[in-house]
Amino acid sequence: MIEKIGFIHTGSAIVSIFEKLMKEKLPQKHYFNLVDDSIIKDLLNEDKDLVNNLNTSSSIVRRISRLVIQAAEAGAEVIMFTCSSISPVADIADKLVDIPVYKVDAPMADAAISMGKNIGILATAKTTLNPSVNLILKKAELKGKNVNVESLLISEAFNCFLKGDMEEHDRLIIEKGIKLIGKVDVIILAQASMSHLAEGISKKTNVPVLTSPPLAVEFLKSRSS
């Protein structure tokens, strides 16, 4: 039975989302947060994602790996990456410690694949889009299922997020989401920072909209009982 969970975040704004979910779904469990917001900034500045740059010579991979080791040394029995941009590193980090390292978006990807063949992905950070698409395609292949992915990047919304203009951030995402009407069976929101928009986009598009934080915590709950 899991008693202590370590969360690794690339932004402090995400911490409160997971704290709220943990209080609701796993109030009896202990958890802690490790945050390094320099990682996502450096990924953005380098204009690359980690899907095609997974090697131990990468300074970003090494930094993420050190956070994983730190979490294990702090007593975590499982580790959850809460940022899709760094999810690809979980496959490397998992070999560095003798506890599971989970990707926040993996349960969401599984759910989306089970819901339909045509999957829409909305992302605001360019470093998140490719890892999210890649994860869907890999999981679908493992399940022997053919899927079509319709992905939309809303980079201007990410700029609004960084400036704290959430009203414009939300408007831009909803506007893009509407463009998926009639094209997809399910939509996933690739970043935890978008999770509050799931219900609104679902109502406007009339398709299920998935977001990673609640599904990730439900997954942890299933592993904790």
Q: Residue 91: which CATH number?
A: 3.40.50.1860
The reported pTM is 0.90
204 in the same domain as 134: yes
pLDDT at residue 162, as a whole number: 83
**pLDDT confidence of 55, banded at 50, 70, 90?**
low
136: left (phi over 0), alpha (psi -120 to 50) or beta: alpha
220 in the same domain as 193: no
Per-residue pLDDT at 56 exceeds 70 = no
202 in the same domain as 114: yes
For 116-143, what is each residue's pLDDT tens digit? 999 999 999 888 888 899 999 999 999 9
Question: Do β-strands 101-103 and 30-35 pair in parallel, antiparallel, or remain unpaired?
Answer: unpaired
pLDDT at residue 40, as a whole number: 83
144 in the same domain as 88: no
125 in the same domain as 182: yes
157 in the same domain as 89: no
Domain of residue 146: give its range: 106-211
96 in the same domain as 23: yes
DSSP the chain: ---EEEEEES-GGGHHHHHHHHHHH-TTSEEEEEE-THHHHHHHHHT--STT---TT-HHHHHHHHHHHHHHHTT-SEEEE--GGGGGGHHHHTTTSSS-EEETTHHHHHHHHHH-SEEEEEESSHHHHHHHHHHHHHHHHHTT---EEEEEE-HHHHHHHHHT-HHHHHHHHHHHHHTTTTT-SEEEE-SGGGGGGHHHHHHHHTS-EEEHHHHHHHHHHHHH-
For 13-51, what is each residue's pLDDT tens digit? 889 999 999 999 999 999 999 999 888 888 877 656 665
- Who has greater pLDDT, 66 or 52? 66
The domain tally of the chain equals 2
120 in the same domain as 95: no
Per-residue pLDDT at 57 exceeds 60 = no
Are residues 61 and 54 in contact, defined by beta-carbon separation less than 8 angstroms? Answer: yes
168 in the same domain as 130: yes
**pLDDT mean over 173-202:** 94
**pLDDT mean over 196-212:** 95
The two tokens of residue 11 are 């932004």
Give the chain's mean pLDDT.
Answer: 91
**pLDDT mean over 60-65:** 89
